[in-house]
Amino acid sequence: MGEKFHEELKELQREFCECGTFSTLMLKDAFEALKAGDTDLAADVNARKKILSARSDYFDERLLTLIALHQPMAQDLRTIICTLKMNTALYRIGRYGKDIAILVPDFAASGHLGRMLNLPYMADLVFSMIDDTLEAYRSGDISLISDFSGRDDRVDDLRYSVFREGITYMMEDPRNIGRCMDYVMIARYLERCGDHCCSMAEKIHYMVTGEKVDIS
Amino acid sequence: MTETAIISTKDLNLYYGDHHALQDIDISFARNRVTALIGPSGCGKSTLIRCFNRMNDLVDNARVQGQILYDGEDIASSRTDVVEIRKRIGMVFQKPNPFPKSIYENVAYGPRVHGVRDKKTLDAIVEKSLKDAALWDEVKDRLHASALGLSGGQQQRLCIARTLAVEPEVILMDEPCSALDPIATAKIEDLVKDLKKRYTVIMVTHNMQQAARSSDYTGFMYLGKLIEFGETPQIFEAPSEQLTENYVTGRFG
C-alpha cells in the first residue's frame, strides 16, 4: 500500500465530491422546478436518474476494487467505508429529487397553495445540511456537522407541521387533496434527506476521528 | 487489560552492545489470547519475544534490564531455570526447521528430552500433538517417513506439533507464515485460533492482514519502543497514535 494507493484514493474522493454535487443538484433543481412550475426543468431532472445510477455503480465498483486490491487499514479503511455509505445515501437523495420532479406536472395547471405549507423553508434547511455534509467530507471539518442533531429535529418538526397543515387544507376543501398529498409526500422526502445527512455525518465523524457517534 | 496477564514486562530494556534495541517496554500478554506484534523491520518485535524464552542469552553482547514477569515470577534473572522456561514457553520460527528425522521422532523428541520413555505414552503424545497441530490426518499413515519430505506448510505445522508435545503454556511465533503459500498460511491461522483455547499465543508478523485476522490484541513497535497496544480492531480501524496510523495505512514501513 504505497503512494499510488493514496493518490488513487484521494482522486476518487475528489471525483466523489463532484458526484455528490450532482445528486444534490437533482434535489435542488427538482425543488426549483416545483416552486416555479417549470415542467421542462422537472423533465430534465427526471432524465438525470440514469446518470445518477451509473455514477453510483461506478463508485461502488471502484471502492470495492480498492478494498480487494489493497486491504486498506485505519483512516484509509474508514474513508472507503464512509464513501461507500455516502454513495448509497447520495444516490437516495438524487432519487428523491427525481421523485419530487415527477410531481411537478400536478402543479403546472393549478399553481401552489399559499406558501407551499412552509416547504421552501424546510427545503433550505435540508439543502444546507447536504451542503455541509459534502463540505465536511471534502475538508474533514467536522464542526460543520456537529449541530446536525438539532437541525434534523427542526426538519422533523417541519415535516409534522406540513402534515398537520395539509390535513387542514384537505378538510377545508377536497379539491386541495391532490396537491396537499403531494406536499405531504415532498415533506416526507425532504425529511428522509435530512436523515440521510445525519447518517452521513456519523460516518464522516468516524472517518475523521475514529470515534463512533450517534446523530439522530 | 481486564484479562489476566501471563507474561508482562516492566521497564524492559535490551542492549546489543551499544545499540539500545528495546526501550522501556511495558506490555502485558493476556492468557488464552493471541497477541500480535507488528512494526517495521528492526523495530524490536523479535527481540522482544526472544526475551520471553531467554533466546537472547545466546547472543553474546545482549544485555537485559528490567523485569519480565511470567506468572508473577521474574524470568529475566540469572536464577531462572532456562530449560524449564523453554519448556513452558515454546517457539515456532520463520522458516520451518524440522529435525532431519522422521515425523514421529520430531514430535517425540521434546518429551524424550524431558524424560518420557514409555512407548505408549509417546505414541499418545505424538498423536495428540499432531492432531492439535491439524496435521494428523495428513501424516498418520507415514509417521516414520522423513519430516523433510513434507511440504513447507506441513513442516511448519510439524514444528508447531513439536512445540505442543512438551505442553507449553505460551507459544511464541516469529513470523510463522512468511515462508508459506496462502493456503498453508490460512491453515496456520485457523490453527492459531484453535490453539488459543488452551495456549497463549504471541505472534510476530509483517503481514498486517494476518495480525488483523488472527489476533485479539495488537502491539505496534517502532525503533525499539512500544508505540501503541490495544484490541486488534481498534488498532486497525482507529489507532490513537499517528505513528500507528501511518504504519498500518502503509505510509511508511
CA distance A38 to A40: 6
CB B172 within 8 A of CB B89: yes
A73, A82, A203: which to substitute to probe chain B, counting the most B Cβ within 10 Å? A73
Give A141's contacts (C-beta < 8 A, 6+ positions apart). A135
Q: Do A74 and B245 touch (CB under 8 A)?
A: yes
Q: Do B236 and A6 touch (CB under 8 A)?
A: no
CB B177 within 8 A of CB B184: yes
Q: Is the ipTM of this complex over 0.90?
A: no
- Local structure of residue B102 (DSSP, 8 states): B
pLDDT computed for residue B2 by the predictor = 62
Residue (of A55, A67, A1, A3) closest to A26 by Cα position: A55
In order along its 216 residues, chain A shows pLDDT tens digits of 678 899 999 999 999 999 999 999 999 999 999 999 999 999 999 999 999 999 999 999 999 999 999 999 999 999 999 999 999 999 999 999 999 999 999 998 889 998 898 999 999 999 999 999 999 999 999 999 999 999 999 999 999 999 999 999 999 999 999 999 999 999 999 999 999 999 999 999 999 999 999 998
Range of the domain at A27: 3-209
pLDDT (tens digit per residue) in B133-142: 999 999 999 9
pLDDT computed for residue A1 by the predictor = 60
Question: How many domains does chain A divide into?
Answer: 1
Would you say residue B1 has pLDDT above 60?
A: no
Domain membership flag for residue A23? yes
Instruction: Compute φ and ψ for B36, nearest 5 degrees.
Output: -105, 140
Domain membership flag for residue A216? no
Query: For B51-60, which contacts have Cβ atoms below 8 Å and span 24 or more sequence positions?
Result: B51/B9, B51/B12, B51/B14, B51/B22, B51/B76, B52/B7, B52/B89, B52/B170, B52/B172, B52/B202, B53/B85, B53/B86, B53/B89, B53/B90, B53/B91, B53/B172, B54/B80, B54/B82, B54/B85, B54/B86, B55/B91, B56/B14, B57/B82, B59/B16
B206, B208, B249, B252: which to substitute to probe chain A, counting the most A Cβ within 10 Å? B249
pLDDT computed for residue A185 by the predictor = 97
Chain B residue closest in CA terms to A2: B250
How many residues would you count in chain A?
216
Determine whether domain B5-95+169-248 maps to CATH 3.40.50.300.
yes
Would you say residue B253 has pLDDT above 80?
A: no
Would you say residue B108 has pLDDT above 60?
A: yes
pLDDT computed for residue B23 by the predictor = 96
pLDDT (tens digit per residue) in B3-25: 899 999 999 999 999 999 999 99
CA distances from A57 to A64, A86, B195 (A): 11, 13, 43
What CATH number should be reported for the domain holding residue A94?
1.20.58.220
Measured between beta carbons, which residues in chain B are less than 8 angstroms from residue A73? 208, 212, 236-237, 248-250
Q: Which of B208, B212, B249 sits opposite A75 (nearest CB)?
A: B249
Q: Do A74 and B250 touch (CB under 8 A)?
A: no
Q: Do A210 and B240 touch (CB under 8 A)?
A: yes
Average pLDDT across chain B, whole number: 93
Chain B residue closest in CA terms to A208: B238
Q: Which of A2, A74, A209 sits opposite B248 (nearest CB)?
A: A74
Q: Rounded to 5 degrees, what angle do the CA atoms B202, B204, B206 make?
A: 150
pTM score, whole prediction: 0.84
Mean pLDDT of B169-176: 94
CA distance B40 to chain A (A): 14
How many residues would you count in chain B?
253
CB B229 within 8 A of CB B217: yes
- List, edge to edge, every strand of the sheet that includes B62-70: B19-30, B5-16, B62-70, B73-74
Q: Which of B237, B240, B251 sits opposite A77 (nearest CB)?
A: B237
Neighbour tally for B118: CB within 10 Å: 10
Measured between beta carbons, which residues in chain A are less than 8 angstroms from residue B239? 74, 210
Give domain limits for chain B.
5-95+169-248
pLDDT computed for residue A135 by the predictor = 97
Q: Which residue has the cell 488498532?
A: B235
Q: Do B239 and A210 touch (CB under 8 A)?
A: yes
